[in-house]
Chain A
Amino acid sequence: MITRPILTLTTAICLGLLASGTAAGQDAFFDEGNQRYQDGDFDGALASYARILEAGLESGDLYYNLGNTYFKRGEIGPAILYYERARRLMPGDDDLLANLDLVRQQTADEITPLPEFWMFRAVRWWVGLLPLTALAWVVALAYLTATTAVILLVLKPGTPVALWARRAAIVAATIALVLGLNLAVRELGIGAPQEAIVMATEADVQSAPSDDSALRIFRVHEGAKVRMGRRSEEWIEIVLEDGTVGWVATQQLEPI
């Protein structure tokens, strides 16, 4: 009676391990891409990196390298797109932020972002403080510690072990809760806006979802980051970082 759930669980774990095991073949592509990048063969590097993506795998470092490669090819739009994708996976990475800053300086539009409420900024800083893997490990360890302590507490009440278990349970549970919330926000993408990068060299921004040139309000250029809003057939409502709103044709954007 009890053996059946254990069997299912073991199967699930094995499957999970298998899934991570398939990455071994992609390591070769990653190394190959890096080698080509260092040899200055940026087209080749791009092809190698793309095979990893085609295999349905991603990583912050991979996106970072892709961003670098596109930058070296002089394609600002894709470079920013991949840096932004990398940023979703490793928000606090120093190299990434430095490169993104440098590439942004080369975009045609100078968009001054609206000042952000300090609490939002603080929350974002806190959420992105730890790399995802480290965060997951910390939460898992704290959770396991807390549950183990609770089990000890239940099984051996009134002993000195139970006293320590009680303290450990409180501390570990607090950590698990706080960082677990952090992890949940990150993983579920709570509060993360739907953003996109302008891929077209120049995109007309209309005041309404229509081609009419009379409705054109302004133009954005390759590499500008926009927040995506409502959609209407081929058109999408965008909000620039400075708060300007307008409609652009969907194919001129690439969602992050």
Chain B
Amino acid sequence: MTFARRLPTRLALAMLGLLCLPASGLAQTARAYLSQNEVGLSQQFVLNVEIAGTQQLDADPTLPDLTAFAAYLGSGTSTSMQMANGRTSVTLTIEYQFQAIAVGTFDIGPITVPASGQTLATEPLTIQVTNARATTRRSGGADGGVAPDDLFITAMPSQDTVYVNQPVTVEYRIFTRVNVDGYNLAQQPTTAGFWAEELAVPQTGVEQIIRDGVQYASSVIRRVALFPTSAGRKTLDPLTIEAQVRVQRRSRGFFDDPFFGRGRSRPIVVASDAVDIDVLTLPAGQPPAFTGLVGQFDISTSIDRTDVNTNDALTFRLEVTGTGNIRTVTTPELGFPTDFEVYPPDVTEQVEPSGEGVRGRKMFEYVVVPRAPGDVSIPPVELAYFNPDTDAYAVATSAPINLRIAGDAIDAPSGPGARRRTSIDAQQDIRFIRIALPTFRPIGASLFRSAWFWTVLLTPLVAMAGAVATRRHQDRLRGDVAYARRRRASRVAKQRLAKAESLRSPEQHRDFHAEIGRALHGFLGDKLNLAEAGLVRDEIRSHLTSRGVANDVIAPYLTCLEDCDRQRFAPTEPDAAAMQEMLTRAGQAMTTLDQALS
């Protein structure tokens, strides 16, 4: 763009340099002026820079930054020569075409023009951009002969309210009353928010159209189908062209004779108006299979053979035809049985830009290989779409296909694209918490500190010890008289003492003492396993001494025994106190002896 803009300027400057050599002595001035000081929003205006008396421009004029309120459209250069009083003056005018894009009053700073080693600067300008559209409709610029109504472009949308994905056709037409040699698109309007499909321009050529009572030559310069991708109010930027217009100079100079004017064509930049399109969201109630298709569609399926053997390759075709955004048809979901190996499809699409919108077909060609025999039905394929004509959703359905497959089942090889039963794709997550109540135990608790443990450990041990003791006791009782007598010695002695106690009266003192004597004798006999009858004092003493019994234990025992014998035969009756003392002494003697013997 930059190059295209600069080239004519440079060329013109070079020519000027040649032409203006004789005028080298003239003062150089630069002047800037606007085509109009007040311009409507979106309308065009021209910033002219007129340099008089130049010989050469060292560089293109430097324009201040106008992007805040104006969009640059293009530039053109014109020169004029005037001869007055024998002096030739040369004026170079550079026209910058702008479109106002913001409302307000703006200053255009000085424009600097480097020429012949000097830097010329223009006076600053002020421009007012208003909302008033109608006041200056399509300003063609202040250049001679081309009024705004002489040359303009219209943008005609087929409708200004559409659904998302429903195409709107915009037709750009050029209207002219001047001779246009040709044009080129200076600025393609951006189609943000749309998916654009260029349509063929009808080859009708130039038509004569009466518009507002004026006859124009008109022709279509561009047709485009736009598919809005989202809902809301969308604005299409203007389309700008640079037309080569054959013009005649305004001045009545010699060179303005039509004869000279011939072939003088100058570029005029014109732009269409911006177009607003309201995009509606699709109504609710979309079928589950809906993927955003809007238009009218049909779906059909076919297969090359219906009687096949396993492992034969089949070609399955699926074709979607219709008008609408056919290019966005996605690969449909096929309900092939899992015994089929389905390879990725070969997709072809043919889109013909038709008069209204886009018509076309999209074909999916699958190679499928049956791996198991049997009668198989390939279920219908469904395609859901929204029909804007009826404002309703519709589902196109293909006919089911029945296949007869003969042969043996074959294990599917793991070829590329082979369809497999999907394995469970487990998500990575932890397993669930425990819900059942656990048995809590004290922290740091050890089995060895629990009562249970020691109970379970020790009770059987105690029981075992008891069992062993019982067993040994029984064994001794059974085979060991001495043991048996010793075991019962205390018991028998106690019984005898008890009996003696019951005889404790002065009348029965003989029996009393006899019983105590028997108890003492019997106890000793049982303890030592001796015959009681043969026991005399010396024998007792020697037996006890040999068992290591101390003398001070033996002595009281023998004394007690002697006292008993003496009292048995004593003539006097002892008193009750003496008898009680006797009983106590016998008991003590036996206890001490028992302790000494055990």
Q: B433 contacts A16, CB within 8 Å?
A: no
Cβ–Cβ contact B464 & A12, under 8 A = no
Set B434, B440, B441, B467: member contacting A151, Cβ < 8 A: B467
Chain A 129-159 near chain B by CB (<8 Å), digits 1 or 0: 0000100100010011001101100110100
* Smallest Cβ-Cβ distance to B470: which chain A residue: A155
- Cα of A29 to Cα of B392 in the assembled complex, Å: 58
Q: Judge whether A34 and B433 touch: CB under 8 Å.
A: yes
Residue from the list A16, A30, A136, A155 in contact with B471, Cβ < 8 A: A155
Residue of A62, A148, A151, A188 near B438 (CB, 8 A) is A62
* A190 interface hit (Cβ, 8 Å): no
A110: CB under 8 A from chain B?
A: no
B461 at the interface (CB under 8 A from A): yes
- Report the bound CA distance from A95 to B436 in whole Å: 14
How would you classify the secondary structure of chain A's contact residues: helix, strand, loop or mixed? helix
Residue pair B438, A30 in contact (C-beta under 8 Å) = yes
A59 in contact with B440 (CB, 8 Å): yes
Interface positions of A from 10 to 26, Cβ below 8 Å from B? 12-13, 15-17, 19-20, 23, 26
A144 x B460 contact (CB < 8 A):
yes
Indicate which residue in A12, A19, A64, A103 contacts B433 across the interface (CB closer than 8 Å): A64
Q: Is A26 a contact partner of B440 (Cβ separation < 8 A)? A: yes
Q: Is the CB of B438 within 8 A of A61?
A: yes
Whether A53 lies near B460 (C-beta < 8 A) is no
| Number of B residues with CB within 8 Å of any CB on chain A | 36
Quick check: is A119 within 8 A (CB to CB) of the other chain?
no
Q: Are A27 and B437 in contact (CB under 8 A)?
A: yes
Range, interface on chain A: 35 or more
Task: Evaluate contact between A16 and B460: CB separation under 8 angstroms.
Answer: no
Contacts of B3 in A (CB 8 A): none
Q: Residue B448 contacts which of A57, A143, A187 (CB distance < 8 angstroms)?
A: A187
Q: In this assembly, does B577 line the interface, its C-beta being within 8 Å of a C-beta of chain A? A: no
Q: B447 at interface (Cβ–Cβ under 8 A)?
A: yes
B439 on the interface (CB 8 Å rule)?
yes
Q: Is B451 an interface residue (CB 8 A)?
A: yes
Interface residues of B in 413-460 (CB under 8 A from A): 428-443, 446-448, 450-452, 454-460
Q: A12, A61, A133: which contacts B455 (Cβ < 8 A)?
A: A12
Q: Which residue of B lies closest to A12 (CB)?
A: B451
Query: Chain A: which residue is nearest B462 at the CB level?
Result: A5
Q: Which of A13, A37, A59, A143 contacts B441 (CB 8 A)?
A: A59
B468 and A154: CB pair below 8 A?
Answer: yes
* Contact partner, A154, options B431, B452, B454, B467, Cβ 8 Å: B467
In the bound complex, what is the Cα–Cα distance between A58 and B447 (angstroms)? 14
CB of B438 to closest CB in A, whole Å: 4
Residues of A within 8 A of B435 (CB): 34
Nearest 4 A/B pairs, CB to CB: A16-B451, A147-B460, A61-B438, A57-B440
Q: List 15 A-B contacts (CB under 8 A).
A: A13-B452, A16-B455, A23-B440, A34-B433, A57-B440, A59-B438, A62-B438, A64-B434, A68-B433, A71-B430, A95-B431, A151-B467, A154-B464, A187-B446, A188-B448
Interface residues of B (CB under 8 A from A): 428-443, 446-448, 450-452, 454-461, 463-464, 467-468, 470-471
